[in-house]
Amino acid sequence: MGKLGVGIAVGCAVASCAIAAILVGRRVRSKRKWNRVVGVLREVEEGCETSVGRLRQVVDAMAVEMHAGLASEGGSKLKMLLTFVDALPDGSEKGTYYALDLGGTNFRVLRVHLGGISHGIVEQTVDRQPIPQNLMTGRSEELFDFIASSLKKFVESEGEDSDFTAGKSRELGFTFSFPVKQTSVSSGILIKWTKGFSIRDMVGKDVSECLQIAMAKIGLDMRVAALINDSVGTLAVGHYHDPDTVAAIIIGTGTNACYVERTDAIIKSQGLLTSSGGMVINMEWGNFWSSHLPRTSYDIELDAESPNPNDQGFEKMISGMYLGDIVRRVILKMLEEADLLEPASTKLTMPFILRTPMMAAMHEDESPNLREVSRIFEDVLEIPDVPLKFRRLVVKVCDTVTRRAARLAAAGIVGILKKIGRDGSGGVTGGKVRGNESNMKRTVITIEGGLYTSYGVFKEYLHEAVAEILGEDVAPYVILKVSEDGSGIGAALVAASHSQENSVNI
């Protein structure tokens, strides 16, 4: 071979080595990027860890905060509000009762006919109406005049009823889903408006009194027998169908809980007397906080950028309003860390663009190629052609965030059981478990809200965690039941249990 041939051969070898080096370098860099993506997932998984040991710490913290909130006003992040509901329906109620559900841009009116133990809920009629925008920011008198007028039309559309022919007042349960300081079972002072309402002259006024005045002006003979929120209504529905129901949980867009407490345990209201010896307490548990809660950097960022930083900490980790956005933040971090997908979608930087129902759809996608994950990325986030291996990681992120939420909600539930002595550790209303001998009482928790009722994996994780925390000796005594329409039927049932005709104790 001549010098020229040797030179060409050497040149080719050098070029081949250079190309090989470039390709290897790209593979190494690609692998490093992918490792960083996987590292983000691993970090989230570690940060969201909810071992049974940690959950039991949350249980203890919840019970302690409940005690503190009952001891003094402002003594705990949990408000532990008195509802003055000292009687819950048990199925024996008879008669016709009305319900008004006001909690957003629409309101509902219901008429429920109760037939007692043998017949239950015989009939119910519902009417839904939008609230004109101008009434949401006008004067309180205008809003309640409109509601009272709608109530009167609803009553008149039903025709005459034998229940009211003897001059008997119609009785109404009023679900008012805004912050209220309850002053009796049928009255409460509005603290502030939310959900787009801004009626300044209403703040500080008695909600029921405003409605009562409006009804009297148009000759509608109806008495507000109960003013409640949706968690109390959910408890009422549960207790109506099953007298062993002791607590109600709302797990939907937001979250809350209420339960039956012994009157003598409500230390901040010494001297409070009820005929039943008990009262429903509205916990406002969305504001619960403990150092034992597994908080990540994504939770901290979400909280800091929210309209209510350092508030509703528990709600921001377990409710439907926030889970999708936590997942969005993790996905965004993965893309930023690895530059995996180009061009990066500007939609992914928009808070709450990935709603929790979309997250649930991705999580529950069982197709081989994860078609639903791909569709949501393309249609909602405007990121096409997402690699399958990345889609698989996204499903794992959804699983991690959902599992943490469900298991923390379960710990909250067991925290309530611990406070009232129904967790197997002993207490005034419960019993201890020793070996195979048990004097545990059957305990029912009723749950309402789309996150629980419509998201199968969430529900499964919650049930699993409750059983793990309680242990195999106690878990069979605790039953979780789905409830429906606590804000509607529940309000009518509370009106029935506090009516002038019925006297049903907790």
User: What would the pLDDT profile of 42-68 be if each residue is shown by its tens digit?
Assistant: 999 999 999 999 999 999 999 999 999
Amino acid 189: pLDDT: 95
pLDDT at 433 over 60: no
pLDDT digits (tens, 9 = 90+) for 137-159: 999 999 999 999 999 999 988 76
Tell me the per-residue pLDDT of 179-226, one tens digit each, with 9 for 90 and over: 888 999 999 999 988 878 889 999 999 999 999 999 999 999 999 999
Cβ-based neighbours of 22, under 8 Å, separated by 6 or more: none
The pLDDT value recorded for residue 336 is 84
Q: Which amino acid is at 139?
A: R
Q: Which pLDDT band holds residue 434 (cuts at 50, 70, 90)?
A: very low
Whole-prediction pTM value? 0.88
User: Cβ atoms within 10 A of the Cβ of 317, count?
Assistant: 27
Beta strand 170-176 pairing with 94-102: parallel
Pick the CATH number of 51-80+242-431+439-484 from 3.40.50.300, 3.30.1340.30, 3.40.367.20, 3.30.930.10: 3.40.367.20
Give the Cα separation of 123 and 59 in Å (integer). 41
pLDDT for 169 equals 81
pLDDT: is 469 or 194 the higher one?
469
Burial class (CB in 10 A: 0-12, 13-18, 19+), 207: buried
CA gap 22, 75 in Å, rounded: 65
Which carries the bigger pLDDT value, residue 305 or residue 432? 305
Three-class secondary structure of residue 87 per DSSP = coil
Q: Greater confidence, 127 or 500? A: 127
CA distance 490 to 441: 25
* For the chain, percent of residues with pLDDT exceeding 90: 71
* pLDDT band of 19, cuts 50, 70, 90: very low
Per-residue CA distances from 8 to 15, 17, 282, 329 (Å): 10, 14, 86, 54
User: Taking residues 295-312, what's their average pLDDT?
Assistant: 94
Give the model's pLDDT for residue 1: 52
427 pLDDT above the threshold of 90: no
Catalytic residue check, 392: no
Q: Is 108 a residue of the active site? A: yes
Where is mean pLDDT largest: 170-179, 304-313, 357-366, 426-435?
A: 357-366
Predicted pLDDT at 316? 96
**CA 296 to CA 78: how far, in whole Å?**
22
**Which among 76, 86, 90, 177 is annotated as catalytic?**
177
The Cα 259–Cα 447 span in angstroms is 12
**Among 145, 230, 423, 485, the one annotated catalytic:** 230
Q: Are 127 and 154 in contact (CB under 8 A)?
A: yes
Q: How confident is the model at residue 14 (pLDDT cuts 50, 70, 90)?
A: very low
CA 427 to chain CA centroid, Å, is: 28
Q: Residue ranges per domain, the chain?
A: 51-80+242-431+439-484, 84-228
Residue 382 reports pLDDT greater than 80: yes
Residues 350-379 have a mean pLDDT of 96
Which residue, 109, 105, 175, is CA-closest to 136? 105
Q: How far is CA 363 from CA 50, 127, 292, 417, 457, in A?
A: 19, 36, 26, 30, 8
Alpha-carbon Rg for the chain in angstroms = 28
Q: Please state, in angstroms and rounded to a whole number, the distance separating the CA atoms of residues 492 and 490.
A: 5
What's the pLDDT at 151? 95
Lowest mean pLDDT among 61-75, 167-181, 340-354: 340-354
- Classified as helix, coil or strand, 204 is coil
- H or E element, residue 6: helix 3-47
Q: How far, in Å, CA of 94 to CA of 427, rounded?
A: 35
Tell me the fold of 84-228.
Nucleotidyltransferase; domain 5 (3.30.420)
Residue 177 known to be catalytic: yes
Residue 4 has pLDDT above 60, yes or no: no
d(CA 492, CA 452): 24
Tokens of 379: 């249609």
At 26 the pLDDT is 42
Predicted local confidence at residue 6, as pLDDT: 45
Confidence grade of residue 271 (pLDDT, cut at 50, 70, 90): confident
Q: Which of 108, 170, 329, 404 is catalytic?
A: 108
Computed over every residue of the chain, the mean pLDDT equals 87
